[in-house]
Structure 1
Amino acid sequence: MSEQRNIVILGASFGGIPTTHYILKHILPPLKAKNDAKYHVYLIDRSSDWYFRIASPRAGASIALMPKEKLLYDIPTIFKQYSTNDFTFIEASITSLDTAERTVSYKKSESLRDERLSYHALIVATGSKTHDPVYSMHTDSKATMDAIHTMNRQVSTAKSIIIVGGGATGVESAGEIGEFLNGKPGWFSQPTPKARITIITASSQLLPELRLAIGKTAEEKLKKLGVDVVYNTRVVDVATTESGRTTVTLAKGEKLEADLYIPANGLIPNSSFLPPALLNPAGYLVTNPKTLRVDAAGPRIYAVGDIASHSNHTAIQITASLPTLLVNLKRDLFAFNPAFPGEKPKGKDREFKPSTKEMLTVPIGSAGGVGAIFGWRVPNWFVWMVKARDYLTGLLVPGYLTGDVVKKEFKWSREESVV
């Protein structure tokens, strides 16, 4: 009987979904044609739904502005085009990784014990989560929708709101909530705010990923929506009062009180199942920034997306890193020799060279926003056209659902080829 060689992807989001599509479209067919083993692709995620978290700031303001059908997508349906002989989706929580035995353990919700799956190649794409469950899926889609509905109810009645975090999520959320509660400003008029919204950031500017001038423009747009910004300070304590309001204590001792507190700062890596020896001090998986291999974990193990130590936590960088990941995966799979299972392939690896240019668009309400593309500052109308209208649900989602985002094969060069 032929040897069973499993290709396992952990996590179904911006890294895991296109990686799975690509393997099934471009790597698995020629692997099977070699007829040297049986290959099967497994995708494991704790939820059967993909949450399009990019759109979460608008959903957090009101689900009427960003309905459920634009937020959640059934993962088995995404991959229904592929044969069950080639692909299996497992809805389960990943519990551990054994790099010596080369197995992944997982637990299904209805199961009392862990199950184990061996891997020939492993791609870790488990990503990260936010402090507030509105902005990322913490457990399953029901819990996510419950969190969104809870925030919606709180937003609708709030007269004062504190948002911690001056990055894209905090700015977008403030813009969406400000427009929803206080109204959209006109060309020559500005509505009287019904709610007081405050952003607190430890940075000296909004959107520190972008130049100062763009951050200043963001602040000006937010002010028109009734949003103030407090710079250069951190929140050191958060407490709930007897009346249900939230008291926030700042680093200098000042206390602020609000009807609603939204933590929109920072990320937590989804790495609790990984061996601590493979993680950096922040809890991210130590990944070779050039090859995207996890060198310390053994052969044919890779990381993509937020979980990887090299990540800048943007969908743009994830997409840009896919050619490197998938060319090197193909090289390793086709060069594999059972007599020397740990031997590296001959030739040249594909190396990832991340862009250092500004690449971020940030809606501030539905009328536009700020940003830069490839280092070029973009005008308000461009942000409206590209992202502010629907938070990319029309532009980006279809390519992930169909696999068109990786429709074309990433050809390896003569130096990279192992066949």
Structure 2
Amino acid sequence: MAKTVVILGGSYAGLHIAHALLKKHDKDVKVILVSKNSHFFWNVAAVRAIVPGIVKDEQLLVPLESALKRYPAESYELIIGSAESSDFAAKTVTVSTSAGSSQTLSYDHLVLATGSRCPSEDVPWKASHSYQEVISLLSRTRERVSSATNIVVAGAGPTGIEVAGELGYEFGKTNKSITLLCAGDKLMDGDIIAGAAANELRKLNVTVKYGARVTSSQQKTADGKQEEIITLANGETITTDVYLPTMGLVPNSEYIDAQYLDAQRRTVNVDDYFRVPGAEGVWAAGDIVCKPRAGFMITQKQAAGVAKNIDLVLKGKEPTLVKGLPVDVMMCAVGRGRGAGRVNSIKVPSFLVWMGKGRTLALQMVPGYIDGSVA
């Protein structure tokens, strides 16, 4: 009898693992892919997609069905919905579908790849919404950016720097004012590329305001115009036309019993094989796991390792350790022409960051996730 593998999450990790298993087990395994979004979302390029006329929606969002239809129909099922609860002892997960129904799925193996979301629901950095909601959010953000005189980006991590860089590259020489709020006294919590990133932003006429930790924001309509009132920890308020927060990630782990989660971060605990301890047949990959940190390249390695291990177990073999990246890589695009990056403690020249990431934000990789060559 065919084994059932339920994969929760249709983004980088989930789709990668689905491809890997279906390519090797399209007859003896049934893969059920559950995704809140009906489309695969290349959110790496979302920071550029908010600039009007640069990235088309169809480059960012591709139907998941088009990725799976190459496999025998009986070997997979795509469910558009989200996990509501799980029972690892009973080996079941309950899913709420986009049609409004509820399904309880039984599994032999379960992959937790539901990723994370932004604390703010009004920014398009993650696929936390339905396809239509993401399209609408991107369109609305572009319109607001286009008509704005003042734009404030909050959060001086990689996403905040990339957002500010894209805006600076496009509008830095116009009448738009672009400000990046940094809670500390250095970008990226003082990473060795902080100074290089700050220099690149300066060249794009982006103002960096240090010691500016946001405590709240409020939308206000005055004279028919929408404004954002941002309050900082020191009591200062900033009024802007567009406010784009990039701070923090919230793991999508509410459907998982607390005993399997890290108590502080609410991410999923995994062992070195990326199994969930104490939960038979449950694996995890991507932003939802407790180690080492969220990151696209890290997710790729985890997905490949989990797919390999499930394949081994299905063949009656022992799983192997999931290896991470051999080096610690940080690459931060700063606009469409420059960047800042490092490999371990070695700084990478700006033009190499542009060649490796900033030139395309890896949009050329999207077809590999659709045709399965990524796995």
Report what 1:380 is aligned to. 350
Please give the alpha-carbon distance, in whole angstroms, between the structure 1 residues aligned to 2:289 and 2:347: 28
**Which amino acid in 2 is paired with 1:124?**
L
Matches within 5 A, 1:248-267: 248-267=230-249
Matches within 5 A, 1:249-288: 249-288=231-270
Compared CA separation, residues 162 and 256, structure 1 to 2 (3 A): same
Please give the alpha-carbon distance, in whole angstroms, between the structure 2 residues aligned to 1:84 and 1:355: 35
Please give the alpha-carbon distance, in whole angstroms, between the structure 2 residues aligned to 1:327 and 1:82: 19
Residue 147 in 1 paired to residue 137 in 2? yes
Structure 1: gaps of 5 or more residues: 33-37, 184-192, 336-344, 407-419
Report what 1:16 is aligned to. 14
How big is each residue's C-alpha offset from its partner over 1:333-376, in whole Å with a ceiling of 9 and x where there is no partner?
333xxxxxxxxx7x6x4223434743122211111211124554
Residue 322 in 1 paired to residue 306 in 2? no
Report what 2:180 is aligned to. 199
**Which amino acid in 1 is paired with 2:87?**
D
Instruction: After TM superposition, give the deviation of residue 281 of structure 1 in Å.
Output: 2.8
Residue 121 in 1 paired to residue 109 in 2? yes
Q: Which has the higher contact order (CA 8 A, sep 6+)?
A: 2
Paired residues, number:
370
Instruction: After TM superposition, give the deviation of residue 182 of structure 1 in Å.
Output: 2.4
Residue 159 in 1 paired to residue 149 in 2? yes
User: Percent identity over the alignment?
Assistant: 28
Instruction: After TM superposition, give the deviation of residue 242 of structure 1 in Å.
Output: 4.1
Instruction: After TM superposition, give the deviation of residue 124 of structure 1 in Å.
Output: 0.6
Matches within 5 A, 1:209-224: 210-211=191-192, 214-224=193-203
Residue 70 in 1 paired to residue 56 in 2? no
Compared CA separation, residues 96 and 359, structure 1 to 2 (3 A): same
Compared CA separation, residues 12 and 375, structure 1 to 2 (3 A): farther
**Which amino acid in 2 is paired with 1:403?**
G
Please give the alpha-carbon distance, in whole angstroms, between the structure 2 residues aligned to 1:173 and 1:263: 10
Matches within 5 A, 1:71-110: 71-110=60-99
**Which amino acid in 1 is paired with 2:4?**
N
Compared CA separation, residues 353 and 40, structure 1 to 2 (3 A): closer
How big is each residue's C-alpha offset from its partner over 1:139-180, in whole Å with a ceiling of 9 and x where there is no partner?
211111111111111111212121111111111111111222
Compared CA separation, residues 79 and 376, structure 1 to 2 (3 A): farther
How big is each residue's C-alpha offset from its partner over 1:368-404, in whole Å with a ceiling of 9 and x where there is no partner?
211124554222222222222221101x212212221
What is the DSSP-based 3-state SS (H/G/I as helix, E as strand, rest coil) of the residue aligned with 2:297?
helix
Compared CA separation, residues 148 and 137, structure 1 to 2 (3 A): same
How big is each residue's C-alpha offset from its partner over 1:308-333, in whole Å with a ceiling of 9 and x where there is no partner?
11141111111122343233323333
Report what 1:416 is aligned to. none
Report what 1:401 is aligned to. 370
Equivalent residues of 1:128, 1:306 under 8 A apart: yes
Structure 2: gaps of 5 or more residues: none
Q: TM-score, normalised by structure 2?
A: 0.92
Report what 1:239 is aligned to. 218
Report what 2:205 is aligned to. 226
The structure with the larger Rg is 1
Please give the alpha-carbon distance, in whole angstroms, between the structure 1 residues aligned to 2:346 and 2:362: 20
Instruction: After TM superposition, give the deviation of residue 284 of structure 1 in Å.
Output: 3.2
Matches within 5 A, 1:29-44: 39-44=29-34
Equivalent residues of 2:286, 2:303 under 8 A apart: no
What is the DSSP-based 3-state SS (H/G/I as helix, E as strand, rest coil) of the residue aligned with 1:7?
strand
State which drifts further: 317-326 or 216-225. Answer: 317-326
**Which amino acid in 1 is paired with 2:5?**
I
Please give the alpha-carbon distance, in whole angstroms, between the structure 1 residues aligned to 2:152 and 2:264: 26
Please give the alpha-carbon distance, in whole angstroms, between the structure 2 residues aligned to 1:327 and 1:301: 14
Q: TM-score, normalised by structure 1?
A: 0.83
Pick aligned residue for 1:25 from 23, 26, 41: 23
Please give the alpha-carbon distance, in whole angstroms, between the structure 2 residues aligned to 1:240 and 1:285: 31
Instruction: After TM superposition, give the deviation of residue 283 of structure 1 in Å.
Output: 5.0
